Structure formats: structure tokens, C-alpha cells
């Protein structure tokens, strides 16, 4: 490893220590902002994530060389493209809870800490679903219980960003805390 690469690796490791979040988690939060220009993303990292100019700059540079995991383009195409804002809002709100991993799958995104706590993605062209792993929580209303031994214990169906409300975020927070 040359001196420049070593210095960059050290700076990225120090960013993780200072923030308590991995570069992947920080990148997810920046991407969830919806910003695409380098300077705008750097400013977001500075103002929203509390990073200094050098660290924010290093983070965005690292993001340029890493693939985006937060919202895979192949999930939000065609008739499902209008659902991407739901996805981005959910990631931004969940990011406020603390660190977590994002793993893009074929038709959804898995969110995990020590174990998976949620799955998010479009279920149909008109419906978005949030799958949750919640122990000891009875279903009712929007919170539907799923059959035992499935990938999730509960699900919530959404049709727009207005449905990402306090009630839904409360369930997600509980699943987040149980996972880790």
C-alpha cells in the first residue's frame, strides 16, 4: 500500500472511531439525503452528521469509489420508480436511531444490526412494504402479523411518504432495538 492509500485508510478508520458508525453506514445516510453533487453531499455530511470539512470530503471521495447499497436502481425502475422517496425517507429516519447495515437484495433491502430487524421495498407497482421482526408485539390496524417462521414477524403496507409517520417509526425503532 502506497503512502497516500495508507493515509486515506487511516483517515477513514479515524472517521469511524469518531462517529461510531462505519463508512458504509455514513454513506447510506448521505445517499438517503437524495443529494448527488459532491459539494452538496460534503455539506450534508458537515451539517447533518457533524463532520469537519476534511472528514466530510474524505467520506464523499470514498463514496465515489464504492457502489451504492441504499437504493439499488434495479428495484426502483418503471412503474415502481415513484416509491424511491419512501425508501429514502425510511433510511434517513432509521439512520437517526444509530448504526445499522444495509444489504441490497434482488427486490428489497435488508436492514440489520446483530440480526435483521427490517426489510423494505416495493411489493407491487402500487404498494411498498416494511417487514419487521418484532417479538412480543401483537398485530393490529396497519401492523399485520405474518405466519410463524417467515422472514419477518410483521409487515406494514405503504402507498406514499405521508404514511412514514410516528407510529411506523415507533415499530421500526422497537425492532431496531430488539436486533441489537
Is 162 a domain residue? yes
pLDDT above 70 as % of the chain: 94
**Chain centroid to CA 157:** 18
Position 175 scores a pLDDT of 96
More confident of the two residues 26 and 65: 26
User: Predicted confidence band at 75 (pLDDT cuts at 50, 70, 90)?
Assistant: confident
Residues 61 and 120 in one domain: no
pLDDT tens-place string over residues 76-94: 888 988 898 999 899 889 9
Task: State yes or no: pLDDT of 1 exceeds 60.
Answer: no
- The contacts of residue 175 (CB under 8 Å, 6+ apart) are 117, 118, 132, 133, 134
Residues 53 and 91 in one domain: no
Is 174 a domain residue? yes
Is 72 a domain residue? no
Domain residue limits at 60: 3-65
- Choose one of 17, 34, 65: the last residue of a domain: 65
Is 73 a domain residue? no
pLDDT tens-place string over residues 53-72: 999 999 998 887 654 444 45
pTM of the entire structure?
Answer: 0.62
How many structural domains are present in the chain? 2
Position 73 scores a pLDDT of 61
Is 71 a domain residue? no
- Choose one of 15, 38, 65: the last residue of a domain: 65
Amino acid at each position: 500500500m502506497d503512502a497516500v492509500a495508507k493515509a486515506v485508510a487511516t483517515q477513514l478508520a479515524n472517521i469511524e472511531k469518531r462517529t461510531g458508525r462505519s463508512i458504509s453506514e455514513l454513506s447510506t445516510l448521505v445517499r438517503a439525503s437524495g443529494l448527488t453533487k459532491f459539494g452538496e453531499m460534503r455539506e450534508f455530511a458537515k451539517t447533518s452528521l457533524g463532520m469537519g470539512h476534511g472528514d466530510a470530503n474524505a467520506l464523499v471521495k470514498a463514496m465515489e469509489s464504492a457502489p451504492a447499497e441504499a437504493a439499488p436502481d434495479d428495484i426502483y425502475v418503471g412503474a415502481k420508480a415513484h416509491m424511491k422517496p419512501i425508501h429514502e425517507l425510511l433510511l434517513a429516519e432509521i439512520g437517526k436511531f444509530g448504526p445499522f447495515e444495509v444489504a441490497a437484495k434482488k427486490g428489497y433491502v435488508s436492514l440489520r444490526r446483530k440480526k435483521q430487524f427490517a426489510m423494505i421495498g416495493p411489493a407491487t407497482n402500487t404498494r411498498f412494504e416494511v417487514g419487521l421482526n418484532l417479538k412480543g408485539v401483537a398485530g393490529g390496524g396497519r401492523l399485520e402479523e405474518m405466519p410463524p417462521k417467515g422472514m419477518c414477524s410483521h409487515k406494514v403496507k405503504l402507498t406514499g411518504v405521508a404514511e412514514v409517520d410516528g407510529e411506523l417509526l415507533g415499530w421500526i425503532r422497537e425492532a431496531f432495538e430488539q436486533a441489537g
